[in-house]
Every structure is written in C-alpha cells, then in structure tokens.
Structure 1
C-alpha cells in the first residue's frame, strides 16, 4: 500500500493485540475516542477516517486501529477470524494503551464490532456512535454481494466504490488506486468474507446483532445514517434507534453509506456534541 493512505499528520504506530501487530493512527489529547472502520475491499482505518480525524482530535485523544485482517494489520493464515477475535483485539488494544474505557465510533462493520464489545463488557465503553450499522436480519444488498465476490481489479474496484456514496463524484481515481492496491495484499479479502455469508443465487439473509440483544444495551448511543444508503439500508438505522433505549438518530438526506466522508463537518459536529454530553 502506498504511504498516501497514512499521511496528513496523524501518527502511525503499532501495538500487539490478540496476537496481531495492530497498526493504528493517533492524534490529539483528552478523553479517548476509538474509530472503528468498516469492511469492504481495500478498506483501512485511514481510508475511512482521515477526513474527520483531525477535527475530532482538536478536543480528544483519537485512535483509529486497523482491525485484524484489514489495512496494515496483516491477515494471518490459520487464524480463525470472527467477532470474538476482533472484540478481543479491541480490548487488548485498549489495554496496551492503558485506556480503561472509550467512546466507540463504528462505521458499518465497525459499528457491529462496537455493539459486540458493549455487549461483552459495557464497562469498557463510554458511549456509542454507529454509522450505517447493521441490526437484526436483512437481505444482502448489491454493495455487500459485490464486495464478497470482488477479486483485485481497478475497474471492479471503481464500480464497487461507486455503490457507497450518494454523490458518485466522491469516488476519485486516487481513491480507486489506493483501495485497489490495498485490496491486492495477500489475504486482503479473506477477513471480509468472514463477515457475511456467501451470496446465494436469490435473496441471502445477513444477520447483525439481534434486536432483543440491542434492547439490553445501556450506553448512550448516537445513530447516524444516510437516507440513500444502498449498502446498509436506512431502515436498519431506525431499527437500532427503536431497539437501543438511550439512543438518538440523525438521518442525512442525499447521503449514502459514507456519512463521515459525505458530510464530514456535520458529522464531526454531531460527534463532538455527543461526546461533550458524556462527561
């Protein structure tokens, strides 16, 4: 991967967590916020969060790790990837940095990981910000289906990335090149294919955290969704809001799956306000 994915002033470090040399970005000081990236071909913490990390770091210590199997935290042959490993990695990541608890901000898969961590040990979580996060059972979308079948190819990468935002102009050739290069790394697709079932010829069900489990979450939660999200439909944002007792929902019109990239200023404003109310 080119270093263009890891610049713009954020510090890049590594720490051992769940047997993986976990790459992460860190900036700022104050109460910790951990940014958990989504899934998809060529994804990394930096590709998801570079546009909002500096603004959030103005008031907080912000950390954005590459989850095991993604970005620069390499896939390891023979490792059983799944939510148990990723949750353990998150907790060991916090332990390694001497962080008792943090606000978790999760995009898509990262939101699912944040929910799983909260259910496993709520004492480690100050609150939740969930962007385009799956909940309950839903029918696999074209964005997820295409990502599962993806094999490294620049044209196919371009086609898949254009499924994510409402404004297709957000997908630049630089983004396509960077994500394609990352997707060609050994094992880059293997972790993603652990997340969702293999697509069938017809409708394929995908399962997020069940609604009865969501109702047990006692942490304040900010739910953010794009109205035109074609990867994780906006109905799932409403499902989260109805299920999590202490939650609020913000829906952005003319916005797809990448709220943090499509509405960066409004998104960071919401997160900073929400974080300030958790003191």
Structure 2
C-alpha cells in the first residue's frame, strides 16, 4: 500500500524535499506545525484537496520532519527552514506565492514575509508562534515528547478540544509516525530543554512585524493549550492589514476540528481581490 504522506521529491539546496503539489492557478504554500511525527500530509490532508479546486497547493515536509532528507549536521533554525522554502520555490519556478503557516509554520511564514517580502502575497497565520510568549505546558509536552502510545494520547488530548477525535486509532497512527527511522532523533534535537529557548529563537522582532503590509488572516482556537490565543490577538494588533478569526470550542487543530469553516475562510480570503 502506498504511503499518502510521500508525494514528490525535488532538490532544495543540498538535500531533497518531499512535497505535495495539487491543483492549478495562483500558488499557496502550506507550512505544517512541529508536533512529533508530523508531516505536511498529516497536517493539511483535509485542506489541500479543497483549496486545490481553485489554487495550486504546495505543501512541503520541512527539513527534520516527515519524508524530507535529514542531512547530517544540519542546524534546525529559521534561516535554514526559510532557505528551504525559497529553494523549493526556485526549483519549481514559483516567483510569488500566498503562505499558510500553522504554529511553528506561522513563525516561519512571518520570517519569510519579513525577509523575502517580494516573494509572498497574502498570509494566513494559524495558532502561530513568532511573537514573545512564555512556554506553555502544552508546547513543553509536545516538544519534550518521548515515544509511547500513552504519551501520544496525552498529547492529542492537549491538542484537541473535541475529545471524540482523539481515538485509539489516531493515537496509534501518530505514535507509529513518531517512531519511523530518524523521526524522533531529529525531532528531539530541535527543541532541547530549556524549551523557552525554542520559543525565543522563533520570535520575530515586533518592529519587523509592524512593517508587514501583506493582507493577513489570523486564525486561532479559543481553547488552544499549546499556543496562547494572546499571540494571535497581539499579531492582529500590530499587523496593519490583518483580520482575526477566533474559533470557540477549538484547540490547536483548527484545520481538523473546524475543517469546513477553516477551508471556507481560506478560500474566501484568497479569492477576494
């Protein structure tokens, strides 16, 4: 049986990137979060086909995650992750794209828009890191994850507001993803204790964020225990052309717990001229 998480391979700088490429039209690049065993497909599987009806959707596995290469000695930092996205765009001959960033991906999307302004148009930030905040219990548990079914279950309980989606099957699936060869090794090296350092290293300067002129849609789950709602409120206060949408009865998984509304929000935002 083929693995839906593995799609296309392209050379980005010195390593190969696994990426999904669906649809036609203006390009939207989706950047996943940083949970254990995550991949672009796991993060965006419910959004990619819907958005691909109107747009070209590109969703890469960021280096250190999923099925992208894990080069020996690479430093996992914003500079190298940003370079991977720019290298991917160059390899696919994409001059300009819209950006959607989830959690860690939100911090990276902010970094990209600040440092490569000419390459990006509209911006969506979902449960985004990237501003100053104190490490939460939920994020500490996620970044400090050690593989076991029990730990994965506890983590999924933290991520989702709706406990009905945290099934034994999902926990088993995500646990198995987290123990694939190389996955835990790269993951555990990314955000070592004290993990507040990981939060701080993803932080963008507020003065730089204030200079962002891209149309920006900010989305957050009201009951998010991983990334504070206050992050998105702050981003809305300082990004000039931004709108904020808060989902009630929603944790850190807006794109899964409220998938139809989430997808409609994105479609409307990207289709609006």
- Counterparts in 2 of 1:192 and 1:213: CA distance versus 1, 3 Å: farther
Q: Does residue 138 of structure 1 match 2:152?
A: no
TM-score by length of 1: 0.91
How do 1:161-176 residues align onto structure 2 when only pairs under 5 Å count? 161-176=156-171
**Residues of 1 paired with 2:118 and 2:45: CA distance?**
28
Q: Indicate if the aligned counterparts of 2:106 and 2:130 stay in contact, CA closer than 8 A.
A: no
Give the 3-state SS of the residue equivalent to 1:225 in structure 2. Answer: strand
2:234 paired residue number: 239
Paired with 1:3 and 1:153, the residues of 2 have a C-alpha distance of 25
Taking the aligned partners of 1:177 and 1:3, their CA distance within structure 2 comes to: 19
- Match of 1:59, SS state, is coil
**Match runs of 1:37-56 below 5 Å:** 37-56=32-51
- The aligned counterpart of 2:95 is 100
Equivalent residue of 1:113, what SS?
helix
Q: In the superposition, relative to structure 1, how do residues 191 and 217 fare at CA in structure 2: closer, same or farther (>3 Å)?
A: farther
More helix, by proportion: 2
Deviation at residue 74 of structure 1 after TM alignment: 3.0
1:206 to 193, 199, 209: 199
Is 1:59 the counterpart of 2:50? The answer is no
1:267 to 252, 259, 262: 262
Shift of 1:128: 0.5
CA contact (8 A) 2:110 2:130 kept: no
In structure 1, the residue corresponding to 2:207 is in which secondary structure? helix
TM-score (norm 2): 0.93
Q: Which residue of 1 aligns with 2:148?
A: 153
Aligned to 2:26: 31
Determine which of 17, 23, 46 is the counterpart of 1:22. Answer: 17
Which residues of structure 1 form unaligned runs of 5+? none
CA distance, structure 1, for counterparts of residue 186 and residue 13 of structure 2: 15
Measured at CA, do residues 85 and 205 of structure 1 come closer, stay the same or move farther in structure 2, by a change above 3 Å?
A: closer
Give the paired residue count: 271
Alpha-carbon RMSD across the aligned residues, in angstroms, is: 1.9
1:183 equivalenced with 2:181 (yes/no) = no
Q: Which runs of 5 or more structure 2 residues have no equivalent in the other structure?
A: none
- Cα deviation for residue 178 of structure 1 reads 2.4
SS at match of 2:183: coil
Residues 108 and 130 in structure 2, CA contact (< 8 A), matched pair in contact too? no
Q: CA deviation at 1:210?
A: 2.9
